[in-house]
Amino acid sequence: MIDGLSFDVMAGQVRVLRGPNGIGKTTVLRTLAGLQNPVAGQVTCDPDTVAYGGHADGIKPTLTVAENLRFWASVFGTSDIDAALRDFNLWDLRNRLAGTLSAGQKRRLGLARLLVTGRKIWILDEPTVSLDTASVALFGAAVLAHVGAGGAAIMATHIDLGVDADIIDLTPYRATYAPTSDGFDEAFL
């Protein structure tokens, strides 16, 4: 739990949480996404507007890249995966089993799922882990397109994404541990 933290996120806005490891960035993001209840205070957000991407890529290794995206599109009631394949440079890999991808390719596939959710708010925990410079640029472009279309993004990252973002430094806030017992693996919601 982070004591005293308060902020708003509006359409077209990117907020980046920063602070040292263990300060509570993941806790804040999980609470905002509705994956755990706030210990105190409130989160005002319709959960059906949120797509959450955690530390795990949340892909099915025995499905192809395209099958993974079609699966997630069906979960969220959408169907077009072509933009996700194209925007995350996965087109040539679309028929490859996800389990055979490199770590960076798996991460790009995990992030490409955001584009098939149709959700307005992206909540992302360290989204650029395992990405090379070119892939970080792809992700930055996806975020810019998302917020340019009226979406919003809240994420924890230690790197500059080349995206105009409001930084929220959690260092001044006192973090306390609030254990969870739900067993959720944080892959994707």
- The whole-model pTM stands at 0.89
Phi and psi for 65 in degrees, rounded to 5? -55, -50
Within 13 Å and on the Cβ side, how many CA atoms surround 111? 31
CB count within 10 Å of CB 175 equals 19
Dihedral sign for Cα atoms in the order 35, 166, 162, 160: negative
pLDDT in tens, the chain (189 residues): 577 888 999 999 999 999 998 899 999 999 999 999 888 888 888 889 999 999 888 899 999 999 999 999 999 999 999 999 999 999 999 999 999 999 999 999 999 999 999 999 999 999 999 999 999 999 999 999 999 999 999 999 988 888 999 999 999 986 565 555 666 555 555
Distance, CA of 62 to chain centre = 23
Distance of CA 107 to the CA centre of its chain: 11
**CA contacts within 13 A on the Cβ side of 33:** 24
For residue 118, what are its two tokens?
A: 């149709």
pLDDT value at residue 39? 81
Q: Return the closest-CA partner of residue 118 out of 157, 84, 166, 154.
A: 84
Helices (H), 4-117: 25-32, 65-75, 82-87, 103-112
Phi, psi dihedrals of residue 181, rounded to the nearest 5°: -125, 20
